Amino acid sequence: MTYWEAFREALYEEMGDPVKDSIALYNKSPLFTLTRLNPVMVLQGANDPRVLQVESDEIAAALKENDVPVEYIVFEDEGHGFIKKENKRLQAN
């Protein structure tokens, strides 16, 4: 068993197994329900190891393509979660 196996099992239990529950996961995914969203702000830390910038780029592009107003901000000096005061001020505005 790998070190992350227990985490994966807990994640599958909470969110769904990507193979067994693929239809339910598809229906929950914001990527596939973009036409039903109101204006959206996407905030991304460029150094985030968990949520890759390419994923946020994809969401922002799909929102724009579906005529959903989107503001997309990439914090070049942040990772997963914003800790710098200046960025927290920008995030709050």
Could you read off the pLDDT tens digit of each residue along the chain, which spans 93 residues? 677 788 888 888 888 898 999 999 898 887 777 666 688 899 999 999 999 999 999 999 998 988 889 999 999 999 888 777 676 666 655
Q: What is the pLDDT of residue 91?
A: 62
Residue numbers of the domain that contains 2: 1-32
| Same domain assignment for residues 50 and 10 | no
Count the domains in the chain. 2
47/88 same-domain check: yes
| Cβ–Cβ < 8 Å for 41, 23 | no
Nearest to 75 by CA among 91, 61, 59: 91
Tell me: do 27 and 56 sit in the same domain. no
- Residues 43 and 82 both lie in one domain: yes
In the block, residue with structure tokens 């599958």: 12
Helix, strand, coil distribution of the chain in percent, nearest 5: 50, 15, 35
Look-up of token digits 């990507």 = 18
For residues 28 and 53, state if they share a domain. Answer: no
pLDDT of residue 92: 59
